[in-house]
Amino acid sequence: MATVPTTVPILTGNRPQVVARYTKDLIYSRLAPGILQELEKRTPKDENGMRKAKLHQWLTDDVGHPALAQHLHAVIALMRASQSWEQFMAMMNVFPLFAPCDCRGHLQPG
């Protein structure tokens, strides 16, 4: 049985918010230029802080979803290869954090 490395951050408090932060940082902000900002613009939060749709629902079937699937597979491979959270994050930093930019082709019209 494998043991969990002691350097993995322990989720305490409001776990969904922490997971949302990790998802935005590790997935959407590294997927393509401007994607995270455009997805958040198209899916605003309501008065309770909830979104009416999931961010991935705005991605196109021909470009956006395949790009997301490819990126997720790469992130999962890095997770499996990592011995610690620090090593995983160092390897993740190979993927650039994209600044706002044109993201045509990745998103559905809206």
For residue 19, give every residue at least 6 positions away whose Cβ sits within 8 Å of its Cβ, in sequence order, or none. Answer: 11
Q: Half-sphere exposure of 17 toward its Cβ, with a 13 Å CA cutoff?
A: 4
Residue where the block lists tokens 């802080």: 49
Query: What percent of the chain has a predicted confidence (pLDDT) above 90?
Result: 16
| Across 11-15, 56-60, 67-71, 103-107, least confident range | 103-107
CA angle in degrees (0–180, nearest 5) for 81-67-40? 105
Q: List, for residues 11-32, the tens digit of each pLDDT value.
A: 566 667 778 888 888 898 888 8
Return d(Cα 8, Cα 74) in angstroms, integer: 19
Neighbours of 58 (CB within 10 A): 19
More confidently predicted of 10 and 32: 32
Q: Which two tokens stand for residue 27?
A: 């997935």
Which pLDDT value is given to residue 108?
55
**pTM here?**
0.70
Domain positions in the chain: 16-92
Nearest alpha-carbon partner for 35 in 104, 109, 89, 96: 104
